[in-house]
Amino acid sequence: MKHLLTTEGLDRDTATALLDTADELKRTLLGREVRKLPTLRGRTVITMFYENSTRTRVSFELAGKWMSADVVNVSASGSSVGKGESLRDTALTLSAAGADCVIVRHPASGAAQRLAEWLADTPTSVINAGDGMHEHPTQALLDAATLRERLGPLEGRRVVIVGDVLHSRVARSNVHLLTTLGAEVVLVGPPTLVPAALTGWLASRRVRVSFDLDAELPAADAVMMLRVQAERMHGAFFPSAREYSINYGLNAARAALLPEHAVVMHPGPMLRGMEIADSVADAANSVIVEQVRNGVHVRMAVLYHLLAAQTRAGEDA
Amino acid sequence: MTDVVISGARPYGEGDPVDVLVSDGVIAAIEPKITPPDGAEVIEAGGQVLLPGFVDLHTHLREPGREDAETIATGSAAAALGGYTAVFAMANTDPVADNAVVVEHVRRIGESVGLVDVYPVGAVTVGLEGEQLAELGTMASSRARVRMFSDDGFCVHDPLIMRRALEYSRALDAVIAQHAEEPRLTVGAQAHEGELAARLGLAGWPAAAEEAIVARDCILAQHVGARLHICHVSTKGTVDVLRWAKERGTQVSAEVTPHHLLLTDERLTSYDPVNKVNPPLRTEPDTAALRQALAEGIVDCVATDHAPHAPQDKDVEWQAARPGMLGLQTALSVVVQTMVRPGLLSWRDVARVMSERPAEIGRLADQGRPVAVGEPATLALVDPDREWTVHGDELASIAANTPYEGMTLPGVVTATMLRGRITQLDGKVR
């Protein structure tokens, strides 16, 4: 495995190996006073964030540092990107400067894949930290890690993903990974925010679309609330934040429809009140904080598999 | 001018091979056997297909403004190599061809290059901004003799402006060529709205955004009795609208690009922007409907939408890339592949869709003429059996953004002639 660009096409064995490594790292680090492993000493990891991010960037940075890699953060503002440098030139520059791994977040769908092609002749690995509306594979992996931790194996489990599915890279990556791991996925949202076409790609997997959240909650093992981006509020996708909240917000009454064992997830950042009620976000069955914690271990596992696990010659994602 | 004898050619791919004598720019004789006059150049056709030179209603030559992607000279060379003898140069240059000065400039450079008749398209609105009519009459009566107006790249979206443009153009015997794209339905659009776009996370460009404008404009054209041309038809639904409009007598014509006949959005999985084009590559049922429509004449002609782009505008992430692809040198081959080989078009039909109809639509009296004695020797000679492999850097355009890179396609244009002058022979421009 040279790159991690998508969860689409990630086979079950590889995904499971990544999750197992994440579990192992978590156990290893648990209760340690000094959270530092020597695994990636001498390796250089560069994060390239073309969009704002708190948790993902910090999570990757910590993941690298806890494994003793040298981590450099580049953001679009305050770098040559601000001077009009192309993504390709920036990537080649960072690779030439000695990056073993480039972690990229970019507003354009497909940006990470393009980057990997431009860096094909170099030893540099690429990790997709979110490309436009396309994928966010490490988010899906940390979600799966959290679900496994709480629910055990995902085979036969039902995960309800709620909100702006259409524009969500988190939803896409989760659909691929969760179904690969044997779970069933229900996408819930207003018709304007779920994919218009459910042929081919979705039909071939255990995925279904519903417009009725209340109907889906009683049989859910987990409910994953998605962020509603501010720009959707003005694009006539739904009449008002109030109506959205009434129909698709996870309030206390609605959360009570969930089975007792079911967990509540949110990739963050949350719009409390609109997407999810305060009390629900902080309830005992909410794993939102655990998702963040697992994020670091999952990203450590990804870095480990890309940079340390085996000789990388001849391997490809 | 030297006399030329094209020896052993089959006009329209029909009948036994004949010799064609070209003298003073005109077809002087067509006989089973002609003894070449002294000093005449002989082109051994070996049974190849002789057609009227092709006419492209939709070419972006990029000059003035983006000479790093294409110039009138390099675009003319690409046209000649593709069998074209006339091209309509779209107005979205910098400065925009929205006045007599720019269209005359383009026309003059085209004449000085001399490889192909370059007819500038005038903008419908000032600066392609869709707000104020450009001086259509002045452009029509200028030396450039503009007969086609288009804001291509942008849709004339305001229904009142479109109505007025259509109405006004009646006095000029001109046609308004519409880039049919409802802008509110395509905000930020990156790919055909469908399963692929959903999977790849690309904002959708719905077929309805094209079909709604085509329907509206057919109704407007009928209402004011004007001529309308639809650029780059890309959807099955548009074909249905065109069929309906033609049945009720609307003066509407339409073009399809080679890439919309051959390619589908399946290509987008690579995120390689060489496949990014506007309107976007659609689906297999669309390509099938477009081929059928071209065969039936619902879609009148093939136009390339030849759109060169410099590497820095293509070798980027998908959403930052400019839409468009090269087309002049590959058009005939794609038509052979999609239409001739499957038996949807005869060679006589190819002459119709690539030469005669576009010449009529663009009001060119001396193009798209029959291969017959007394007619202008404006011709393309095609070897239907030979295949070739496309390489962008071997094409005559400055830019190399061909979606057919590495593909082997059938049909080679072995010679092109403009009023008796050989503009290319065996892939070499003269």
Q: What is the CATH number of the domain that holds B20?
A: 2.30.40.10
Its domain, for residue B20, covers: 4-49+376-386+405-429
Domain match, B65 and B90 both = yes
Joined tokens for residue A161 = 């993903």
Catalytic residues of B: 305
- Residue B152, domain member (yes or no): yes
Reduced to 3 states, what is the DSSP secondary structure of residue B389?
Answer: strand
Q: Which residues of B touch A9 (CB under 8 A)?
A: none
**pLDDT the model gives residue A201:** 63
Domain match, B303 and B422 both = no
Contacts of B103 (CB under 8 A, 6+ apart): B97, B120, B122, B139, B142, B144, B146
Q: Give the closest-approach CA distance of A65 to chain B in angstroms.
A: 30
- Residue B212, domain member (yes or no): yes
CB B393 within 8 A of CB B45: no
Domain match, B15 and B109 both = no
- Is B21 annotated as ligand-binding? no
CA–CA distance from A26 to each of A19, A145, A246 (Å)? 10, 11, 38
Using alpha carbons, select from B146, B82, B160 the residue that is nearest to residue B327: B82
pLDDT in tens, chain B (430 residues): 889 999 999 999 999 999 999 999 999 999 999 999 999 999 999 999 999 999 999 999 999 999 999 999 999 999 999 999 999 999 999 999 999 999 999 999 999 999 999 999 999 999 999 999 999 999 999 999 999 999 999 999 999 999 999 999 999 999 999 999 999 999 999 999 998 999 999 999 999 999 999 999 999 999 999 999 999 999 999 999 999 999 999 999 999 999 999 999 999 999 999 999 999 999 999 999 999 999 999 999 999 999 999 999 999 999 999 999 999 999 999 999 999 999 999 999 999 999 999 999 999 999 999 999 999 999 999 999 999 999 999 999 999 999 999 999 999 999 999 999 999 999 999 9
pLDDT of residue A312 exceeding 50? no
Instruction: Please give the Cα distance from B310 to B320 (Å, whole number).
Output: 13
Domain match, B289 and B381 both = no
Neighbours of A253 (CB within 10 A): 10
Joined tokens for residue B270 = 């690579």
Confidence of residue A232 (pLDDT cuts 50, 70, 90): confident
Task: Look at B271 and A109 and tell me if their CB atoms are within 8 Å.
Answer: yes
Q: How many domains does chain B have?
A: 2
CA–CA distance from A59 to each of A52, A55, A146, B145, B259 (Å)? 14, 6, 15, 65, 44
pLDDT of residue A310 exceeding 60? no
**pLDDT the model gives residue A199:** 59
Domain match, B321 and B411 both = no
Domain match, B38 and B96 both = no
Reduced to 3 states, what is the DSSP secondary structure of residue B416?
Answer: strand
Q: Which residues of B touch A200 (CB under 8 A)?
A: 195, 199
Chain B residue with Cα closest to A199: B195
- Residue B371, domain member (yes or no): no
- Residue B396, domain member (yes or no): no
Chain B residue with Cα closest to A196: B194
- Is B305 annotated as ligand-binding? yes
Task: Look at A197 and B316 and tell me if their CB atoms are within 8 Å.
Answer: no
- Residue B331, domain member (yes or no): yes
Query: Phi-psi bin for B268: left (phi > 0), alpha (psi -120 to 50), beta?
Result: alpha
- Residue B84, domain member (yes or no): yes
Backbone angles phi, psi at B416, to 5 degrees: -135, 140
The average pLDDT across A117-129 equals: 96
Confidence of residue A110 (pLDDT cuts 50, 70, 90): very high
- Residue B107, domain member (yes or no): yes
Instruction: Please give the Cα distance from B421 to B117 (Å, whole number).
Output: 12
ipTM field: 0.90
Domain match, B188 and B267 both = yes
Size of interface A-B (CB pairs under 8 A): 72
Using alpha carbons, select from A111, A129, A108 the residue that is nearest to residue A119: A111
- Residue B164, domain member (yes or no): yes
Domain match, B154 and B288 both = yes
Q: Which residues of A touch B267 (CB under 8 A)?
A: none
DSSP-H helix ranges across B297-407: 331-335, 347-351, 357-361
Domain annotation for chain A: domains and CATH numbers? 12-135+292-307 (3.40.50.1370), 137-290 (3.40.50.1370)
Domain match, B229 and B123 both = yes
Domain match, B107 and B18 both = no
Minimum-distance CB partner of B195 among A108, A110, A200: A200
- Chain B within 8 Å of A195 (Cβ-Cβ)? yes
pTM, 2 dp: 0.94
Domain match, B172 and B238 both = yes
- Chain B within 8 Å of A135 (Cβ-Cβ)? yes
Instruction: Please give the Cα distance from A96 to B223 (Å, whole number).
Output: 63
Domain match, B44 and B156 both = no
- Residue-level length of chain B: 430
- Is B259 annotated as ligand-binding? no
Q: Which residues of A touch B203 (CB under 8 A)?
A: 133
Minimum-distance CB partner of B271 among A86, A114, A200: A114
CATH code of the domain containing B122: 3.20.20.140
DSSP letter for each residue of B176-223: EEE----GGGGTT--EETTHHHHHHT--EE-HHHHHHHHHHHHHHHHH
What is the torsional sign of CA B354, B352, B115, B59?
Answer: negative
Task: Look at B195 and A111 and tell me if their CB atoms are within 8 Å.
Answer: no
